Amino acid sequence: MEWARIEFKEGWNPDTTLKTISAFANDIDNWGGGYIVIGAKEKDGKLVRPVTGIAPDAVDRIQKDLLRYCKYLKPVYICLLYTSPSPRDRT
């Protein structure tokens, strides 16, 4: 479920993702930031299964975009990026 430290994004949208990163970077409650899961849809605050994921050939571009957009934040914010194979790719 979506809550203060986890945000699900169905697809890659730099504008909304950067707003979420900015909110996590402010971290007024001192929770240590948060997690953005790209390629996961939510409905009524809950994860929709199965997770659709993102196209494997888009991962590098999205990671580069994230790092580039984070430099717009002042002070500069460096995101930690992790990737995980889609459950349908695990055989």
Q: Residue 70 and residue 73: Cα distance in Å, rounded? A: 6
Could you report the per-residue pLDDT of 25-81, keeping only the tens digit for each? 777 777 677 888 899 988 887 889 988 888 888 999 999 998 888 888 888 777 888
Are the C-beta atoms of residues 31 and 4 closer than 8 Å to each other? Answer: yes
Residue 16 pLDDT more than 70? Answer: yes
| Main-chain phi, psi angles of 29, to 5 degrees | -85, 0
pLDDT band at 2 (very low <50, low <70, confident <90, very high): low
What pTM was computed for the model?
0.77
